[in-house]
Structure 1
């Protein structure tokens, strides 16, 4: 008698859920490390000035400011930690003197987002655990209906 194999779909689903959760975790950790690296660059040669918000979108907040040498800078990546900024608003920024494209809102840093990052990772793995549990308990509906009806398959009367 051969061993009964688990249905393939739940196994594939579990592996896919774990893979997606791992990818999200790696990306989140990489982004967090990048934020701390940018903050270290700013702290190493910090200059403070006033910037103006030019545009706000879901992916970036465009700003411009004049650096210590009098050159107007418009960082292509926008500003780090831009929460609650509006077009036309003027606010203080800190930037790296050796690389003015690395700019953050004054007084904000990667430490401000650690709670959000931890919460996102927790939710990711809680959802993954829920989906894995559901996939583990899943059984094909054909088998269930046959067991419920009590027929056990085709009957031959005769």
Structure 2
């Protein structure tokens, strides 16, 4: 009876380690995919702006940790306040006037003039830079080598 209980515990332990390792690997891969998609989205938005570009002087109306809200006139008397704010808002302060570039067909797609998707590389890669080492440590901790008992070598007495 104790053999079956011990065998069940061993199988459960192996299964748990496999699940932990798989979860760690998927988490690491997901963080890389997320960073790649963020950069791709920034690149695509920049290309859309570059193909149909308008420019204006905007006033920064609000700055939070995640975005900077701006308002500007597109030139035809159309006043715009993009809902998502401006792309690449690093270093902006409330009340500041900045040059912006926007897509004329969709003025809500706006970025600070002179900035591009390359500004997003460091923030996007910071996600996998933190997640991957943590996932690697978790994977290693769940490795069977870590949990394998040390083999006992019988002593031999040199008499």
Shorter-chain-normalised TM-score: which range? 0.7 to 0.9
* CA offset digits 1:116-135 (Å, max 9, x no partner): 43454344323221221122
Q: In the TM superposition, what is the alpha-carbon distance from 1:34 to its structure 2 partner?
A: 0.8
- Per mean C-alpha deviation after superposition, the further-off stretch among 85-94 and 53-62 is 53-62
Could you say which residue in structure 2 is the equivalent of 1:22?
29
* CA offset digits 1:23-52 (Å, max 9, x no partner): 222222112111111000110011221111
The question of 1:66 aligning with 2:58 is answered no
Alignment map for 1:7-156 (pairs within 5 Å) = 7=13, 8-136=15-143, 139=147
Give 3-state SS (helix, strand or coil) of 2:109's partner.
strand
For residues 72 and 90 of structure 1, what CA distance do their matches in structure 2 show? 15
Runs of at least 5 residues in structure 2 that lack an aligned partner in the other structure: 151-159
Q: In the TM superposition, what is the alpha-carbon distance from 1:62 to its structure 2 partner?
A: 1.0
Contact 2:42–2:120 under 8 Å retained in 1:
no
Give 3-state SS (helix, strand or coil) of 1:88's partner.
coil
Q: In the TM superposition, what is the alpha-carbon distance from 1:21 to its structure 2 partner?
A: 1.9
CA RMSD in angstroms, aligned pairs only: 2.7
TM-score, normalisation: structure 1: 0.77
For residues 100 and 72 of structure 1, what CA distance do their matches in structure 2 show? 10
Contact 1:64–1:73 under 8 Å retained in 2:
yes
TM-score, normalisation: structure 2: 0.76
For residues 76 and 21 of structure 1, what CA distance do their matches in structure 2 show? 32
